[in-house]
Chains A and B, each alone.
Chain A
Amino acid sequence: MSDYAVTIGLEVHAQLLTNTKMFCGCKASYGAAHNSLTCPVCMGLPGALPMPNRRAIEMAVKVGLATGSTITRATKFDRKNYFYPDLPKGYQISQFDKPICAGGSMEIRGLFGVKRVGITRIHLEEDAGKSQHGDDDGTLIDLNRCGVPLIEIVSEPDMSSPEEAYAYLMEIRRLVRWLEVCDGNLEEGSLRCDANISVAPEGERGVPVEIKNLNSFHGVEKAIRYEIERQSEVVRNGGKISRMTLLWDSDKGETRVMRTKEAAHDYRYFPEPDLVELSISDQMMAEAHEASPEYPWVRRERYVGIGVKPDDADVLTAEKEFGEYFEEVFAGCNNEAPRAVRWVIGEALRWRKELGGGERFVVSAYATAEVAGLEASGKISGLAAKTVYEEMARTGRSDPAMIVKEKGLEQVSDTGALEAVITKIIEDNPKEVERYRGGDMKLKGFFVGQVMKAMGGKADPKATGEILGRLLG
């Protein structure tokens, strides 16, 4: 799409899933009445002082460990000063020169292949409030969000296409959800993304342009593509890219200028004097390690190791709970990976999508494992198993054995009954018997079909095959 060197870096803000805010005891949650989740600290009233939230610090450390970052053991907070009505103190408590994590990376995959994207830093900060701009009746401010803990994850400018940026953002989302530090919802703003893009002729250094307000995954891809085109056009016409900040307008599908370099803020960062320097103790490091789950990329390798195909392993590690589900089914399938994969991807995930809104499994892992077991032991046929599963998915029942009984789906493996039926079929189809015995072995399928038809699909295929073989000689 562009003949020039494209460099993309992303800054991702993730709202942490703590119970309380970053520096006060107010609840950090959505949907409460405007300004009801506030106190003197988060309203910035005269004389109030911040106290850091230990859980938020732990969460930042967890993300740092997962991305292979160095944890800054002697870290600190700084003030970022600017005036805005939804910033009640006139400054945001953030981190400037000693971010809690630095120098990590993330591996991303896609049609472009496999790539490692550097993570420059991860720092902790507090969120601002929300401004609701009316048409001409002023602006309303809600401070419920004000003071909610955020981590900002800043990547190296290591990406070179919108697809890579998309994959990186998805990978960040998967990680923060996996670690249970953020719910990863871009539309609701619990995950926010700004992009820095520069386009320059090969071998030259470009000027990064920042795009803000990228509030959907596809918006990120689209906005970046739009900006690459715009800059390429400027470069092609011999123009110069100037440093500025743009806003993405998702309705119009275009960017517009938010501020130019001349109007850039001087945030006058300085160490936050209300908070003592923060030392990350050995104990906190140990606890963060302890609390960290098996990482998705580690789990993926493990699944491949037990016989899951790489593509299937990707599906099973898209979300942490998929893996937990899979492992329960896998155990219920006597550790036969292909069978467990077939049940989880082919059935459980399909019904999750169809009936669970893509957000919840409609059949428990235990019940899925039980159906898989009924099929594996020959008690029901594969077709019957699917019928039972659909019944469970649609009704919410989790008693497959009962459903089998009610619907009369047990396979008949009683050799006496099968022999009687097969003897009759042999008697009724002398021509076919003759041809079979004459060497037309393909006709075995015909006989199996006749048996199944006579038994209403419930004949045990294994026993049927044996008896047919014996009686047809």
Chain B
Amino acid sequence: MSERAQIDNFTELGLVERREALAVGKFDLVKEVRRLSAKIEAKSVLNAFLETTDELAVECTSKLAHSEEAFPLRGVVLAVKDNIALKDHQLTCASKILDGYKSLFTSTALQRLSDAGVVIIGKTNLDEFAMGSSTEHSAFGPSLNPFDNSRVPGGSSGGSAAAVAAGLATASLGSETGGSVRQPAAFCGLVGIKPTYGRISRYGLVAFGSSLDQIGVMARTTYECAKVFETMAGHDPLDNTSSPVPVPDCAGNLDRPLKGLRVGLPREYREGTIQPEVANSVERAAKVLKEMGATITECSLPHTKYAIPVYYILAPAEASSNLARYDGVRYGLRRGTPPPTPPASGGEVAPPLPPIEDIIRASRQAGFGAEVKRRIMLGTYVLSSGYYDAYYLKAQKVRRLIRQDFLNVFDDFDLLLTPTTPTTAFKFGEKTADPIAMYLSDIFTAPANLAGVPAISVPFGFDDKGLPIGIQLMAADFREDLLFQVAHQLEGVAQ
């Protein structure tokens, strides 16, 4: 029996019903949090969590219970990808190199959520430094897909997706660089949003590809996803790239009629090998939208085919620099030197220390996994003198063309409708031998990261194996409200 099939009253309820049930005492949040902690333990085979924060969660819940304030997000029990900083808690990024490291500060996103009454239940698994699409690149083993334990939950935010899908949390935070929230959301039957670049502060999100990274949200319902998003979004003086554009009311406008909505079906997202049931879900969604009064027209984003190559130049380039700080010198794993010993008493002479280069080399050698090393090498190469113009600079130019495609198309359309992924969740080991095949699972998601536009994945049907299918909606900069609105209305007819 699949994990998903087990009914769990608390996490199965929508946020509104959950809040009402809490208010009338049908549930006790402290008890529910304890029960969820126990359930995480019981479901440890899923390997969704790298750390549970039970004590913090219970402490938060008791504080909520005794407060007069009407915390807007009371009732949200959150799982957090372990690359988002929470003070005094681990921040492994699923890498051995951050072994033993504890964050000295809390990310802006988590601070805003905590202030709104969210209870944080644990830190979730991911592909090491968010580099991957399956969690198979985690140094702590992969997470399992709750729908089919022989399949990946997607990645890199696979632990966060598995946690919500298995009812171990009501919502979760992931991070996106090329689809790392939308793809696992699609694989695990969740709503998952990648906001506009700059919408949510990156302060406290461990950098992978800084010009692409955004924190995203996964939840079972669009409403909960929108509530969590709204609370985190908005300008942060600690992140120079965060946008001052005001955040509209998203969760409050989900039922606005869709009449007159101009929906585009990009031609380039229907090419190549797409699982027929996935293509069918997109067709079906288009039909539903049409019935709701939208117009459906084919359109074109001509530079789409360059998205993956451009992504795999720019993201590794930035990563090669972002990951340079993990050198074994100040924190995390250190190799290549004997551990510090207390001063010798008898005037013995300590053995001479090895040169610093040896320590850095040995620490990085032992601390990083193969995929991370591959990307650091790729990134170092494309930034090297003599290759910079041909790779990095060229890729930047193509990135601008990709963004221009979106700007052009949003002159004529309000929304784009595409599949989130070419297939439903794949099996473990299916793509690990061929990095390119793995990279291509981001083919429909990476363009939104390169262009900076917001995109959402909504569950829309199942394939013949019972695996969830995700469809993707993309909108112009800062139009997350529209994404949530359409996602919510599709959600109503999805099953």
Contacts and interface: CB of A to CB of B under 8 A. Distances in A.
Interface of A: 40, 43-52, 79, 81, 83, 85, 88-91, 136-139, 141, 266, 268-270, 273-276
B240 A46 contact: no
29 contacts: A45-B105, A46-B93, A46-B103, A47-B84, A47-B203, A47-B206, A49-B202, A49-B238, A51-B239, A51-B240, A79-B321, A81-B383, A85-B329, A85-B356, A88-B325, A89-B324, A90-B325, A137-B350, A139-B356, A266-B384, A266-B385, A268-B321, A270-B317, A270-B318, A270-B392, A273-B209, A273-B210, A274-B240, A275-B240
B325 A46 contact: yes
A191 B220 CA distance: 59
Nearest to B101: A46
Interface in B72-107: 83-85, 91, 93, 98, 101, 103-105, 107
B360 interface: yes
Among A49, A79, A138, A269, chain B packs the most CB atoms within 10 A around the CB of A49
B353 interface: yes
Given A46-B206, A139-B356, A90 B327 contact: yes
Contact of B321 (A45, A50, A81, A275): A81
Given A49-B202, A83-B360, A138 B353 contact: yes
Contact of B327 (A83, A139, A266, A274): A83
A273 B325 contact: no
Given A43-B330, A45-B104, A274-B210, A90 B324 contact: yes
Q: How large is the interface on B (under 10, 10 to 19, 20 to 34, 35 or more residues)?
A: 35 or more
Contact of A47 (B207, B241, B323, B327): B207
A85 B388 CA distance: 26
B477 to A, nearest CB: 15
B176 to A, nearest CB: 15
Given A83-B327, A90-B321, A270-B392, A276 B93 contact: no
Contacts of B101: 46
Contact of B103 (A45, A270, A274): A45
Given A81-B320, A90-B327, 15 more contacts: A46-B91, A46-B206, A47-B105, A47-B203, A49-B202, A49-B239, A90-B321, A90-B325, A136-B349, A136-B352, A270-B317, A270-B318, A270-B392, A273-B211, A274-B207
Nearest to B330: A88
A119 to B, nearest CB: 25
Given A81-B321, A270-B321, A49 B203 contact: yes
B382 to A, nearest CB: 9
Contacts of A270: 317-318, 321, 383, 388, 392
Among B105, B240, B352, chain A packs the most CB atoms within 10 A around the CB of B240
A89 B327 CA distance: 9
Nearest to A267: B385
A-B CB proximity, top 3 nearest: A90-B324, A273-B210, A268-B383
Interface string B106-118: 0100000000000
B424 to A, nearest CB: 33
A273 B318 contact: yes
B321 A49 contact: no
B145 interface: no
A83 B329 CA distance: 11
Contacts of A40: 104-105
B37 interface: no
Contacts of A45: 103-105, 331
Contacts of B154: none
B318 A52 contact: no
Interface in B237-258: 237-241
Contacts of A44: 325
Contact of B237 (A50, A51, A274): A51
Among A44, A51, A90, chain B packs the most CB atoms within 10 A around the CB of A90
B158 interface: no
Contacts of B329: 85, 141
Nearest to A136: B352
A280 B388 CA distance: 28
A73 B210 CA distance: 24
Contacts of B392: 270
Contacts of B190: none
A47 B204 contact: yes
Interface in B193-222: 202-207, 209-211
Contacts of A273: 209-211, 241, 318
Contacts of B11: none
Nearest to A272: B210
Contacts of B353: 136, 138
B303 to A, nearest CB: 21
A97 to B, nearest CB: 11
A50 to B, nearest CB: 7
Nearest to B331: A45
Given A88-B330, A273-B210, A83 B203 contact: no
A287 B329 CA distance: 43
B61 interface: no
Contact of B384 (A88, A138, A268, A275): A268
Among A83, A88, A138, A141, chain B packs the most CB atoms within 10 A around the CB of A83
Given A40-B104, A45-B103, A51 B321 contact: no
B173 to A, nearest CB: 13
Nearest to B360: A83
A51 B357 CA distance: 30
A156 to B, nearest CB: 23
A95 B406 CA distance: 31
B205 A47 contact: yes
A269 B388 CA distance: 9
Contacts of B383: 81, 268-270
B183 interface: no
A146 B31 CA distance: 48
B380 interface: yes
Nearest to B239: A49
B377 to A, nearest CB: 13
Contacts of B204: 47-48
A137 B204 CA distance: 35
